[in-house]
Structure 1
């Protein structure tokens, strides 16, 4: 059973000079304060990175994050016409690069899902590290198993996000049963844009996010 969150969020203006909005996370009990401390430590570990939502401020009282003008990717796919393949390619490479960076900083996201990827100015950012896991910097992120979560499961979840972008349909998927083959749930990937990458994500052929990143760039930037 994966742990839930009882945090409340709201959008408020932060920088009057730019009229940029932020999300404010307020904590109401000790359990949530412990979760906040972990999330704050994760943002500090990750620092500023182009594919991660910008954190304006992290304190013991809350975390202030940049507001995504175009909502999350799940909503965006439902409400917008299918974009050109060039934008899909840009988004997919951006997400893979970002997740590769996050793993290099020894963080497991845990919930790699459309609802936790935000869209703003046609750019994607990974958001919501409230359930994420902060690993030791000395950990082997490619082989460690932390609370039943591994790099290959993270890659599997990312594969479903890539699939949703490729076919431009929402597919929600959260997988913790190693005996189940996700490819059995869908029609053949043969001939599908990014089909080779998706199949490798689902069948555990990538040993790491870094390996996925290299393969995707080799396949999509020729």
Structure 2
């Protein structure tokens, strides 16, 4: 039997968790603004978050519907994305949802990150409820998976996000998330054009050669200057 009360409690707990993470993150120009919470009719439980509206949907949809901007503009979007990811990490949060589908687009291709319901918060929510897209799984010599930290997985997923933004195409094309994850598990990484000025940055992220998003920001800025 469907338990409406249990579902409502679980939903309320998720919103409380996300509200706490938004509070920890504070105000940032590239994080969606949390205006407040909506209460259940009895006024005692959080039911929903009131968030600002994004006029142009999420970045993945935007990429699919719009012509590619200049590489300079794409690189700036990738820098904005990576800078705010470092800000999130500095606040003790692991997003766990690194994907352009969780980035909202405003006028002039200004982006804001959203969806922190499954994120971690140091000292309060130690475990991710959801995983990065695409999930990180690295095969060992005999096919055994290597355990990676949440931060390492986050940076791996950042590489795929930067690939999508700078290439202005969804990795692997219009396939299901599960298929995308399977391709990564098989060692089949997304295509990166030879003309992509940050192809080496992306590959280094996939090879776990960066220890922070800030290092990636600096590499992207160098590429922007050289473009």
Same fold (TM over 0.5): yes
Contact 1:69 1:119 in 2 (8 A): yes
Instruction: State TM-score, norm by structure 2.
Output: 0.72
More helix by share: 2
Q: How many residue pairs align between the two structures?
A: 186
Q: Residue 50 in 1 paired to residue 29 in 2?
A: yes
Structure 2 match to 1:166 = 166
Residue 205 and residue 34 in structure 1: after superposition, are their counterparts in 2 closer, same or farther (change >3 A)?
A: same
2:171–2:190 Cα contact (<8 Å) kept: no
Is the radius of gyration larger for structure 1 or structure 2? Answer: 2
Structure 1 residue runs without a partner (length 5+): 1-26, 140-146
Kindly provide the CA deviation profile for residues 105-129 of structure 1, in whole angstroms up to 9, marking residues without a partner as x.
0111111112111101020111111
CA contact (8 A) 2:99 2:161 kept: yes
Write the distance in 1 (CA, Å) between the matches of 2:79 and 2:118: 24
Compute the displacement of 1:209 (Å).
1.6
Unaligned runs of 5+ in 2: 1-5, 39-45, 127-146
Pick closer, same or farther for the CA change 1:49–1:38 going to 2, 3 Å. Answer: same
Query: Displaced runs of 4+ in structure 1, greater than 3 A?
Result: 172-177, 179-182, 186-191
The Cα offsets for residues 68-101 of structure 1, whole Å up to 9 and x where unpaired, read as 1011011101110111112101101100000000
1:41 deviates by: 0.6
Q: For 2:48 and 2:86, how far apart are their aligned partners in 1?
A: 27
Q: Which has the larger strand fraction?
A: 1
RMSD of the alignment, in Å? 2.8
SS at match of 1:61: strand
Q: Per chain length, whose mean CA-contact separation is higher, i.e. which structure has more relative contact order (CA < 8 Å, sep 6+)? A: 2
